[in-house]
């Protein structure tokens, strides 16, 4: 039994809101005032005890009023009116304090619960009638001329306070809710930022270190082949080229790291970077390259970087997999859009099959880089029919 009472008290305290605390203070003041007036001349124990019990039930019901369904809310107000009326009859001398202390609170509460003038009037009517009946029984009908104006004065005051207080309370609750939502949103933004940075680092590592190492491996294989044939002069030339490429790969890796640290937006010449990539490709591959770059307006360095990374990845894939003999690169502007085409006459491949293979990050990186700067990328390929990569971006 003791444990049940303890759990009930804990539940009551856990559900207690700021408005509930304010009502407890108000109810305690009303209760003490009524008991003093009633017992100042002669103490009545049993009625006073029953009175306090009814007030306790009244407060308990009030604290759970927001959890009630619409149908039960009418029953709630009906019970609360009867409790206040019965409490007033138990201490007749102090009943006017009870009546003007609780009936206006009930009417004010109906305003926030129902938000309807008709429903509030329905609550007001029996409350007012019970108030008048209790005054009539305890003080006589002639006293109504005094207590009715007092009732309306207290009612207006309580309603004004109650409505303002609940608006402030609701505003604070909404503010706390929005702050919680904002905190959740900030956490999601942070997670997305970290995820984007990880993707960017993965792309940069793939397009610098991975591609550079692929080129070095291919050159080392060529060196080994020439050494076995006894062609040391050609082997030395490839070694010199490998050293140059290794230094360039290291430089590209450093540039990628600097780009991760810096968000500076500068202008850069796309054509110079394209010609540099084509020159590197010619040094590493016997594939014939046809390159045509029209006059391009200056672009932010981030856009230029991503376009060059896309071109570099395309050329690396052609060199590694396509078995092509010619590559055509076209970069031009149409209708305020920049277009870059990379075509080869190689063996082609299955795009869907390539996307679904684990460990194949080249195509994924191409699409991610295009999307990162607001561009679009399409890839067309046929088995034994070559491959075409088209990148477009609005200028």
CB neighbours of residue 61 within 10 Å: 15
| DSSP secondary structure, 204-227, as one string | HHIIIIIHHHHHHHHHHHHHHHHH
Strand-pairing partners, residue 338, are: 333, 393
Under the banding of pLDDT at 50, 70 and 90, the label for residue 266 is very low
% of residues, the chain, pLDDT over 90: 8
Strand-pairing partners, residue 333, are: 338
Q: From CA 217, how far away is CA 246, in angstroms rounded?
A: 11
For residue 147, pLDDT beyond 80: yes
For residue 169, pLDDT beyond 80: no
* Domain limits, CATH 3.30.565.10, in the chain: 267-395
CB neighbours of residue 192 within 10 Å: 10
Q: From CA 49, how far away is CA 54, in angstroms rounded?
A: 9
Under the phi-then-psi rule, with left for phi > 0, alpha for psi from -120 to 50, and beta for the rest, what region is 335? left
Joined tokens for residue 80: 């609360």
Domain 267-395, what fold?
Heat Shock Protein 90 (3.30.565)
| Paired sense of beta strands 376-381 and 337-344, if any | unpaired
For residue 5, pLDDT beyond 60: no
Q: From CA 304, how far away is CA 153, in angstroms rounded?
A: 76
Q: From CA 255, how far away is CA 304, in angstroms rounded?
A: 13
Rounded to 5°, angle at Cα 364 from 359 and 367: 175
Asked if 127 contacts 106 with a C-beta cutoff of 8 angstroms, the reply is yes
pLDDT of res. 241: 74
Mean pLDDT of all residues in 306-329: 88
**Which class for 238: exposed (0-12), middle (13-18), buried (19 or more C-beta within 10 A)?**
buried
0.85 cut: is pTM over it?
no
* Range in 55-64, 154-163, 171-180, 240-249 with the lowest mean pLDDT: 240-249
Under the phi-then-psi rule, with left for phi > 0, alpha for psi from -120 to 50, and beta for the rest, what region is 199? alpha
For residue 327, pLDDT beyond 90: yes
Which residue is it, tokens 């020439």? 226
Give the largest CA-CA distance in the chain: 130
CB neighbour list of residue 76: distance below 8 Å, 6 or more residues apart: 61, 65, 68
Under the banding of pLDDT at 50, 70 and 90, the label for residue 342 is very high
Cα 174 → chain centroid: 17
Cα 176 → chain centroid: 15
Q: Return the closest-CA partner of residue 297 out of 332, 265, 325.
A: 332
For residue 271, pLDDT beyond 50: yes
Q: From CA 209, how far away is CA 220, in angstroms rounded?
A: 16
The pLDDT tens digits of the residues spanning 210-245 come to 666 666 777 777 777 778 777 777 777 777 777 776
* Range in 7-11, 116-120, 224-228, 349-353 with the lowest mean pLDDT: 7-11
In the DSSP assignment, the letter for residue 335 is T
SS3 391: strand
Asked if 100 contacts 151 with a C-beta cutoff of 8 angstroms, the reply is yes
Q: Return the closest-CA partner of residue 387 out of 320, 317, 339, 333.
A: 317
Under the phi-then-psi rule, with left for phi > 0, alpha for psi from -120 to 50, and beta for the rest, what region is 334? beta
Under the banding of pLDDT at 50, 70 and 90, the label for residue 190 is low
Q: From CA 127, how far away is CA 246, in angstroms rounded?
A: 91
Q: Which ranges constitute the DSSP H helices of 140-207?
A: 144-205
pLDDT of res. 343: 92
């Amino acid at each position: 039994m003791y444990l049940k009472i303890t759990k009930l008290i804990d539940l009551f305290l856990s559900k207690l809101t700021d408005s509930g605390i304010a009502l407890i203070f108000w109810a305690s003041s009303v209760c003490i005032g009524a008991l003093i007036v009633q017992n100042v001349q002669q103490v009545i124990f049993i009625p006073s005890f029953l009175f306090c019990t009814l007030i306790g039930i009244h407060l308990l019901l009030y604290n759970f009023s927001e959890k009630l369904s619409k149908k039960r809310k009418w029953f709630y107000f009906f019970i609360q009116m009867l409790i206040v009326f019965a409490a007033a009859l138990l201490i007749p001398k102090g009943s006017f304090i009870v009546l003007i202390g609780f009936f206006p609170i009930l009417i004010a509460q109906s305003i926030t619960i129902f938000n309807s003038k008709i429903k509030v009037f329905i609550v007001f009517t029996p409350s007012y009638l019970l108030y008048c009946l209790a005054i009539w029984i305890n003080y006589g009908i002639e006293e109504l001329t005094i207590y009715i104006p007092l009732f309306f004065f207290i009612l207006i005051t309580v309603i004004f306070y109650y409505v303002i207080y609940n608006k402030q309370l609701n505003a604070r609750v909404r503010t706390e809710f929005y702050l919680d939502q904002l905190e959740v949103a900030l956490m999601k933004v942070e997670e997305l930022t970290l995820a984007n940075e990880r993707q960017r680092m993965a792309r940069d590592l793939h397009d610098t270190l991975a591609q550079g190492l692929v080129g070095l491996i291919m050159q080392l294989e060529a060196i080994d082949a020439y050494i076995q044939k006894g062609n040391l002069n050609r082997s030395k030339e490839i070694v010199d080229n490998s050293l140059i490429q290794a230094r360039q790969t290291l430089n590209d890796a450093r540039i990628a790291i600097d780009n991760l640290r810096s968000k500076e937006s500068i202008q850069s010449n796309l054509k110079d970077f394209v010609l540099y990539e084509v020159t590197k490709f010619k040094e590493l591959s016997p594939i014939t390259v046809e390159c045509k770059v029209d006059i391009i307006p200056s672009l932010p360095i981030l856009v230029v970087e991503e376009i060059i990374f896309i071109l570099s990845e395309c050329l690396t894939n052609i060199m590694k997999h396509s078995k092509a003999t010619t590559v055509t690169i076209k970069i031009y502007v149409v209708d305020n859009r920049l277009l870059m085409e990379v075509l080869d006459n190689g063996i082609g491949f299955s795009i869907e099959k390539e996307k679904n293979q684990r460990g194949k990050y080249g195509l994924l990186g191409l699409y991610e880089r295009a999307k990162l700067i607001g561009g679009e990328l399409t890839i067309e390929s046929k088995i034994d029919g070559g491959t075409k990569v088209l990148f477009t971006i609005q200028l």
